[in-house]
Structure 1
Amino acid sequence: MTATRAAGAYRRALAAFTNPTLDLLHGRHAPFVVAVLSLVFTADRPAVAIPDAHAEIGEAVEELRAAGYAEEGRGLPSGTPRELCRSWVRLGWLVPQIVDGAEVYRLSAQAVGALEIAGRAGGGRSRVSRSRVRTLLDSVEQLVQHAETDPAERLARLHGERAALDAEIARLEAAEREGRAMDPPDEEQLIEGAEHVLHLSRELPADFSRVAESINAMQRDVVAELRRDVRPAGEVLREYLQRGQHVMQATPEGRAFSGALALIGDPEHIDRLTEQLRALLGQPFARLLGAQQRDDLDAVARRVEQGVQEVLTAQRGASHVITAQVRTHDPARDREVDELLRSVMSGLQGWMRSSRPGEEVAPVRGFPSAGIGHLRQTVSELRPPRTPAPLADGAAEAEFADADTRAWGGPRYAELEAYVAGLGDRFDLAEAFAGADASTRRPVDLLGLLEIAHRNGMTEGEEVSVARAVRPDGTRREFAFAAVTASADPGPDPAPDPDAASAPDAAPAPAPAPADKDPDDD
């Protein structure tokens, strides 16, 4: 049993030391790495442009060598700043990213945790303070309250809290009435509380980085699964678009952050936190804090805001990548590319077995053309082409679901021509339209009547005529136009004039212009 427990503990320790956090602290040049990363990356500058990072690391190396640290203990690493950064990226301490078109470095969550551990270990003694114990007791008390399901127990606890608050309010009111000053706070307790706040705030950057990295890891897994997926594109689209839109709920760290975001995500909360910290720094006890402690306390709100922004940026980036991948996802094309790459690798391996050192490879000068043969241009048809059969008039057999929609169609020329034929030799267009049947007094029928008048020969006057049209739904519309008189029957075709053979056709009469709306018009 002892051997089993020892083996289990040893396996857990081995797994822990494979973490980049302990690897950074356990490495040969750990002091140099911790010092340089803490100088380059600060709370005010979580991301640094890659050229700037190389330049600053090079300056730090030169300063340390000039100070004689290259011969002490673990010494300084060899290599250029670019090589050092590449090795740190490979070990998981730096994360290269592209922000606003520029390449930058960010500390990984493991590196942030390592810097926090080193800073806490070298920042002085760790004390069991009143603030830490109070935080522990308050956390346990809140956990018990949330886990309590008995209404009577919760009511009794709330009544007790209210009684304690009422007693404190009464004590303060009595002191105010009597003019007594409050007892000054214990400066030692205030300093302990400030140190505890700094202790808690140092853990936030690593927590935010872990959330962002978990989202990025989920994004890579989703894209890899999508490329391997052979399901129908519609099913893939629905599933992965949903995961892209709810990327924050796809990881345990993301779900925990979503709950914390309700407390710290509101800009008003960040502003309030900033004001509270500045008020604390203005208190007399703040002069007893060190300069670094005051700077760290003033930067707490900025660290929280930057951490939230880092996570939200990772969420937006993951959603964009997953959505773009889904929209461009083509399983057939991806399989063809994979098969092509495998064939290339297989051919390369076969060539490596048969080739000699230094043997040249003949370049591919062009791609072979595809032989598609001759495409058919005509379709064999023994029967000669025939004209289509005339359209049948099925107006009598037409059926409508709700109402006869033909009332909203074009002019009814047959009814209008029959109506015009009985008006005599000459007629006024407006009067003729007003005397027509209700079914032929629509706006389109006015245009049809004007077309018939133009075809039969019409004359325009200087007076203005007004025609009132009625739509099928009962709404009315008035049209004003120059008075028109026309013949009921078309006259004989005039003899062609040789001089007017090249003259343009006479322009048709202008369409009536709508007048002011009738009061009944909708």
Structure 2
Amino acid sequence: MLALLHQTHAPFVVTVLAMVFTAERPTVAVADAHAEINDALDQLRAAGYGDEDNQPLPAGTARDLCRQWVQAGWLVRQVSDDDVEVYRLSAYGVGALEVAGRVGGARTRVSESRVRTLLEAIERLAQDADPDLMSRMVRLHEEIQQRQKELTRLEKGGAVETADDEQLLEAAENVLHLARELPADFARVAESIKAIQRDVVAELRHDVRPTGEVLREYLARGQRILDATSEGRAFAGALRLIGDPAQIDVLWGQLRTVLRHRFTELLPEQQRRELTEISRRIEQGVKEVLAAQRQASHVITTQVRNHDPMRDRQVDELLRDVMTGLHKWVPGSRRGEAVEPLRRLPVADVGHLRQRMSDPRPPQPPAPLRDWDETEDLPAADTRAWGGARYAELRTHLETFASGATSVDVLAAFRAAGEEIQRPVDLLGLLEIAHDAGMAETAEVAVVETVRPDRTRRRFALSGVVVNPGDTEGSGGDD
């Protein structure tokens, strides 16, 4: 702020910033700001300013000047909610304009209103700091008696004591003096929040500490910011007083009552405008701080969602490998040597990705077995029918079917068997017996129908098989 006020072109900078940024327009689009500042420069130079014997003007275009002011910390360039780049005054810029406004405006006087404000503030401070219960009760009783005495006097027809215009004018100037300090305080709180945002984002990008630890520290700093700085405490107090929209309406109604009084005609036009805009400036300052909080949360949330430390480390390692290979290749290379270009960078080998998600429910143990009751009857169904092939019955049936023949068709023998050995597993068992006996396959394709224990039927197609029944003795097993 002091750098702005002490520089050579301070009159021009302060005047232009006060002209472009007003209470009704705290942010200005970048293109509009450049156009207005260029227009102001053209008018001043056409009027003779900027010459050697006249008020100096800075060199460069409005774009160059705004860039310099952003670097100096007097302006802040950001993106609005409408995705438009805008300028706004920083806390230092707001403070410089307030200092210039107080110097150029009406001079603050040691008046009755200012002394009364000081005494009331000291009295409230003493009451809040005094923990004595009896003293607090005595003060409240005295105040109640004074109020009751005044009410009784008015009820009896007493006249309302009015202040003269000079006293009201002094009180209005005191109110304006107090109100001028608020915008800079609000701007400092907003910039403190943005500084915390920048620190958190930098910590997340460096990936030195765990993300959860950085976010916990951010939340703790956000809670302490309203108590750690004077600007934060001022904002917390203002938020408690005007957090209710109804309180803003009450404040605006009180200001209208003041503006309707005849003493306001003695105020300059600029002071009347400032008095009218007090409630709007307070509400706007609170909104600015809340918007800074929302933006900080949005930026940090976006950074956490999009920041992938593993991917960043892979990219860094890949770039280091490329640079290492380049350093090794350059010393041994020759001028004009052909270089095989790298068509694509290698990618990480992902391997086999999971194709099926597991059941999110925890595994459940099987149902407990039912206790066996010895009095229960055994099931009538033959559970052995669902077992393996019956080799003994199959071998006996094959020898009976052959009845002394030198060769026999295995599939024909299977068709002639009883249903109890015509199961699919028995077909496999019969083929196993024929295989052990040295079967021979024919070119004919035959279809065989099997019967399952539940009386359902299955059909199988396979090549014809011929075997010598005399060789089937002892082959296979009985299981």
- TM-score > 0.5, shorter chain as reference: yes
User: CA, structure 1 residues 107+242, in 2 after alignment: closer, same or farther (shift >3 Å)?
Assistant: closer
Q: Which residue of 2 aligns with 1:53?
A: 33
Aligned equivalent of 2:95: 113
Q: Are 1:104 and 2:86 matched, yes or no?
A: yes
- 1:401-433 per-residue CA deviation (whole Å, 9 max, x = no partner) reads xxxxxxxxxxxxx9xxxxxxxxxxxxxxxxxxx
The answer to whether the 8 A contact 1:270-1:301 is kept is yes
Gaps of at least 5 residues in structure 2 are 330-338, 353-365, 373-378, 380-454, 457-479
Measured in 1, the distance between the counterparts of 2:139 and 2:302 equals: 53
- Encode CA deviations 1:332-351: one digit per residue, 9 max, x unaligned: 33444556677889999999
Structure 2 residue identity aligned to 1:366: R
Q: Pick closer, same or farther for the CA change 1:227–1:268 going to 2, 3 Å.
A: same
Give the Cα–Cα distance (whole angstroms) in 1 for the partners of residues 174 and 281 of structure 2.
Answer: 16
Give the 5 Å matches for 1:286-301. Answer: 286-301=264-279
Structure 2 residue 57 is matched with structure 1 residue 79: no
Instruction: Report what 2:370 is aligned to.
Output: 396
Change (3 A) 1:397 1:149: farther
User: Structure 2: how far apart are the matches of 1:338 and 1:249?
Assistant: 39
The separation in 1 between residues aligned to 2:144 and 2:102, in whole angstroms, is 39
Measured after TM superposition, the shift of residue 76 of structure 1 is: 0.6
* Whole-angstrom distance in 2 between the partners of 1:277 and 1:302: 11
Task: Name the CA distance, whole Å, in 1 between partners of 2:173 and 2:309.
Answer: 56
**Deviation of the 1:225 alpha carbon:** 1.9
1:281 shift after superposition? 0.8
3-state SS, counterpart of residue 104 of structure 1: strand
Q: How does 1:10-29 map to 2 (within 5 A)?
A: 21-29=1-9
Cα RMSD after superposing both structures: 3.6
Unaligned 5+ runs, structure 1: 1-20, 352-361, 377-391, 399-413, 415-491, 494-522
Equivalent position SS for 2:156? helix
Q: Deviation per CA, 1:214-235, whole angstroms, max 9, x where unpaired?
A: 00001111111223344455x4
TM-score, normalised via structure 2 length: 0.66
The 1:60/1:342 distance shift into structure 2, 3 A limit, reads: farther
Partner of 2:111: 129
Higher Rg:
2
Match of 2:216 among 231, 239, 248: 239
- The aligned counterpart of 1:367 is 344
Correspondences of 1:459-498 after superposition (within 5 Å): none
Mapped to 2, the partners of 1:300 and 1:213 lie a distance apart of 22
- The 8 Å contact of residues 229 and 331 in structure 1, kept in 2 or not, is answered as yes
How far the C-alpha of 1:243 sits from its partner, in A, is: 4.9
Any conservation in 2 of the 1:116–1:202 contact (CA below 8 Å)?
A: yes
- The aligned amino acid for 1:38 is A
- Give the structure 2 partner of residue 150 of structure 1: 132
State which of 158, 164, 181 in structure 2 corresponds to 1:186: 164
Residues 94 and 106 of structure 1 are in contact (CA less than 8 Å); yes or no, is this contact kept in structure 2? yes
SS at match of 2:192: helix
The answer to whether the Cα contact below 8 Å between 2:66 and 2:75 also exists between their aligned partners in 1 is yes
Report whether the alignment pairs 1:62 with 2:42. Answer: yes
1:316 to 1:349, Cα distance in 2 relative to 1, 3 A: farther
Q: What amino acid is aligned across from residue 208 of structure 1 in structure 2?
A: F
Q: What is the TM-score with the length of structure 1 in the denominator?
A: 0.61
How much has 1:92 moved relative to structure 2? Answer: 0.4
Query: Structure 2 matches for 1:330-345, cutoff 5 A?
Result: 330-337=308-315
- Map residues 185-334 of structure 1 onto 2, 5 A cutoff: 185-233=163-211, 235-236=212-213, 239=216, 242-243=219-220, 246=223, 249=226, 252=229, 253-334=231-312
Contact (CA 8 Å) 2:14, 2:97: kept in 1 or not?
A: yes
| Residues 156, 112 of structure 1: alpha-carbon distance in 2 compared, 3 angstrom cutoff | same
Following the alignment from structure 1 to structure 2, what is the Cα–Cα distance between the partners of residues 301 and 209?
16
2:76/2:90 contact within 8 Å kept: yes
AA in 2 matched with 1:109:
A
Q: Distance in 1 between matches of 2:110 and 2:42?
A: 41
Instruction: Report if aligned partners of 1:241, 1:326 keep a CA contact under 8 Å in 2.
Output: no
**Does the residue aligned with 2:157 lie in a helix, a strand or coil?**
helix
**CA displacement 1:275-296 (0-9 Å, x = unmatched):** 1111111111111111111111
Q: CA deviation at 1:167?
A: 2.1
Percent pairwise identity: 56
Deviation at 1:155, TM superposition (A): 1.3
- How many pairs are equivalent? 352
> Is 1:36 matched with 2:16?
yes
CA apart distance, 1:79: 0.4
Distance 2:26 2:110 in 1: 31
Equivalent pair of 2:200/2:218 in contact (CA under 8 Å): no
Q: Any idea what SS the aligned residue of 1:166 has?
A: helix
Deviation at 1:211, TM superposition (A): 0.7
In 2, the alpha carbon distance for the partners of 1:59 and 1:74 equals 17
Structure-2 separation of matches of 1:213 and 1:363: 52
Segment drifting more, 43-52 vs 199-208: 199-208
1:132 Cα deviation from its structure 2 partner: 1.2
1:350-499 alignment, distance < 5 Å: 366-369=343-346, 395-396=369-370
Contact 1:218 1:251 in 2 (8 A): no
* CA-CA distance at 1:115 after TM superposition: 0.5
* SS at 2:85 equivalent: strand
1:30-77 Cα distance to aligned partner (Å, 9 max, x none): 000000000000010000001000000011111111222222554111
Aligned to 2:144: 162
1: CA distance, partners of 2:102 / 2:328: 57
Task: State the one-letter code of the partner of 1:47.
Answer: T
Q: Is the 8 A contact 2:187 2:285 kept in 1?
A: yes
Contact 1:218–1:250 (CA under 8 A) maintained in structure 2: no
Are the aligned partners of 1:244 and 1:319 in contact in 2 as well (CA < 8 Å)?
no
Helix, strand or coil at the partner of 1:149: coil
CA contact 2:201–2:303 (8 Å) conserved in 1: yes
8 Å Cα contact 2:194/2:292 also seen in 1: yes
CA apart distance, 1:121: 0.5
Instruction: Give the superposition deviation at 1:301.
Output: 1.0
1:50 maps to amino acid: V
For residues 328 and 47 of structure 2, the distance between their equivalents in structure 1, rounded to whole angstroms, comes to 56
Matched position secondary structure for 2:88: strand
Aligned-pair CA distance for 1:184: 3.7
Aligned in 2, Cα 1:300/1:139: closer, same or farther, shift over 3 Å? Answer: same
- In 1, Cα distance between the equivalents of 2:317 and 2:225? 35
- Amino acid of the residue matched to residue 287 of structure 1? E
Secondary structure of 1:69's partner?
Answer: coil
